[in-house]
A = this chain, B = another copy of it.
Amino acid sequence: MRCLARLSSKALLVLCSLLALLSLLLWTRCPQHPQPPAGPPERPGIPGIPDSEEASPQDAPRAPGMAGMAAAGPRYEEIDCVINEEQTVKGRREGGEVFLPFSWVEKYFQVYGRIAQADGAERFEFSHSYSKVYAQRAPYRPDGVFMSFEGYNVELRDRVKCISGLEGVPLSTQWGPQGYFYPIQIAQYGLSHYSKNLTEKPPHVEVYETAGDGNGNRNGNGEWTVPKGCSLTTVWDKSRLTGVKQFSCPESSEGVSLELNNGRDFILSFDLKLQSNGSVSVVLETTERNQLFTVHYVSSTQLIALRDRDIFYGIGARGSWSTLTRDLLTDLRKGVGLSNTKAVKQTKIMPKRVLRLVAKGRGFLDNVTISATAHMAAFFAASRWLLRNQDERGGWPIMVTRKLGEGFKSLDPGWYSAMAQGQAMSTLVRAYQLTKEPAFLGAALRATAPFKLPAEQRGVKAVFMNRHDWYEEYPTTPSSFVLNGFMYSLIGLYDLKETAGEKLGREARLLYERGMESLKAMLPLFDTGSGSIYDLRHFMLGTAPNLARWDYHTTHINQLQLLGSIDDAPVFKEFVKRWKSYLRGGRAKHN
């Protein structure tokens, strides 16, 4: 310090200025802080490519490599990356390593990635695909969970216009904004609820009104408000052998109303019999700035309507007793999102509380409940729809025009689908196993008829190269050989042959066996070595393969997993293993 102290002010001033300048310089242009030199990156040589008379002139392909890079220092710098001599992206270089920006990698390779939190730190999560394969719990059974359908939420799909009040099943807008009943969607609605019923806990049920059991027991009466000009009485119903609520209320009145006040669950159910036009409405508190919405179930045939904050579903005359089970969440959202397009509009609205039920007109009510789920109601709605709507040919005609793609003739309304037939079988067989009603089994057995006819005769059968029978999801001309629809049809046939027994199930068994033979033979045609192909249109039309996007690829795997649990041919296990590996970037070997 002494020697320093001896320095003149001037010298110190100069030193100060120099140091300040140095600081400034460092601040603005400082280089990377030193890092331990990166070791030579682990890079095996280009795998020894055997050469052959057939391969192309690059007799010994000069494999580009980064051998020369290790010599460079560990400086971090921008470097132009020229991609296939076509475009340039800005990468980073650090010693022997070059880093490519994920924004480019993502688009170029069609992969996925995002920054995520893990253990308090941020990390980058790269994924080759966006779909996951479900882990099969147990061997498949015709009365068990259907594949992975316990995870499906058919009614929430934006191509489901709404759940019809008349039919109790979803109405599809997938290929026609006017809406149509799509047997595949209806069967899947049934099968998903059937599967949820097996995998979920029984729901909590809140009972609001039972009108007594008819033994003079007056328990189970709800808190009703009956305005002037209306009446509400408990009466004995002979047909049901129970007490019920009779209401009478002009349409113009406020209606009799039952206090519900449930903020927990949103599946409403009640028994109803109307003696005139009438309606049962439900008032909902919602997340929409706490606005009240009212869902009206009215004795009309209107599908759905929205006026301000009133949503209307026609439920038909209901002149005799029936149970109406409605998912108020779905009914609210489909109403608010109502649109004339193929898709229900996105909305964030959710019900927060079911305030009350309001009845108008003249009729009877009983057993008003709210529960978390009512899966079996949905399952039977689907099953019974299938019973009612099967035609004399054993099929469920699809009443919409379907153009599969360039090069295929359109399917005119009224076509059958092997997938619809198969998924209906899977549904009906389950309904039969639960109820033992012969009608369900009979319908499932009749559903095999279109499998025996070619597309020209309104059947669903195609034959690949004069050899392999195939059941067409879309019985197009030329044939299209859609893989996933075929496998669903095989699962349906399996369910049926297993349930119907040796004699009744003979037809189904033969169809199943022929189909499985075709599947085992033709499966390799759907394998690209890094994914799967949706159909065989490339072979039929001479075009590019119609690659399956990842969720279809996952469906293929799920189906093969299922089939592998009922048929121990090694092909299923091998394909499942390989096709699963594709989801993580695996690929077949090259020669």
A552 and B124: CB pair below 8 A?
no
B131 and A585: CB pair below 8 A?
no
A12 and B16: CB pair below 8 A?
yes
Chain B residues whose CB sits within 8 angstroms of the CB of A31 once the complex forms: 30
Within 8 A of B (CB), among A26-70: 26-31, 33-34, 41-44, 46, 49, 51-59, 61-69
B548 and A590: CB pair below 8 A?
yes
Can you list 8 residue pairs at the A/B interface with Cβ under 8 Å? A15-B16, A28-B34, A56-B558, A66-B102, A84-B126, A86-B584, A465-B465, A528-B529
Q: When chains A and B are docked, how far (Å) is the Cα of A22 from the Cα of B30?
A: 13
> Nearest Cβ distance between residue A142 and chain B, in whole angstroms?
20
Q: When chains A and B are docked, how far (Å) is the Cα of A43 from the Cα of B105?
A: 11
A138 within 8 A of B: no
A217 within 8 A of B: no
Report the nearest B residue to A128, measured CB to CB: B84
A81-108 interface bits toward B, Cβ cutoff 8 Å, 1 = contact, 0 = none: 1111110000111100111111101111
B153 and A81: CB pair below 8 A?
no
Report the nearest B residue to A126, measured CB to CB: B83
Chain B residues whose CB sits within 8 angstroms of the CB of A546 once the complex forms: 588-591
> Nearest Cβ distance between residue A36 and chain B, in whole angstroms?
12
> Nearest Cβ distance between residue A107 and chain B, in whole angstroms?
8
Report the nearest B residue to A22, measured CB to CB: B23
Contact segment of A181-189, A291-299, A306-314, A426-434:
A181-189
> Nearest Cβ distance between residue A41 and chain B, in whole angstroms?
4
A114 within 8 A of B: yes
B126 and A82: CB pair below 8 A?
yes
A130 and B20: CB pair below 8 A?
no
> Nearest Cβ distance between residue A106 and chain B, in whole angstroms?
7
Number of copies: 2
A204 within 8 A of B: no
The 4 closest A-B pairs by CB, nearest first: A99-B99, A30-B30, A57-B151, A19-B19
B51 and A124: CB pair below 8 A?
no
Contact segment of A1-9, A250-258, A386-394, A507-515:
A1-9
Given contacts A59-B157, A93-B124, contact A114 B555 (CB under 8 A): no
Given contacts A533-B529, A547-B587, A547-B590, contact A56 B97 (CB under 8 A): no
Set B20, B98, B473: member contacting A102, Cβ < 8 A:
B98
A61 and B551: CB pair below 8 A?
yes
B549 and A525: CB pair below 8 A?
no
B542 and A520: CB pair below 8 A?
yes
Report the nearest B residue to A102, measured CB to CB: B98
Set B62, B82, B107, B485: member contacting A125, Cβ < 8 A:
B82
Chain B residues whose CB sits within 8 angstroms of the CB of A112 once the complex forms: 63-65
> Nearest Cβ distance between residue A133 and chain B, in whole angstroms?
8
> Nearest Cβ distance between residue A6 and chain B, in whole angstroms?
9
A409 within 8 A of B: no
Report the nearest B residue to A122, measured CB to CB: B79
Given contacts A100-B105, A529-B547, A589-B547, contact A131 B520 (CB under 8 A): no
A174 within 8 A of B: yes
A442 within 8 A of B: no
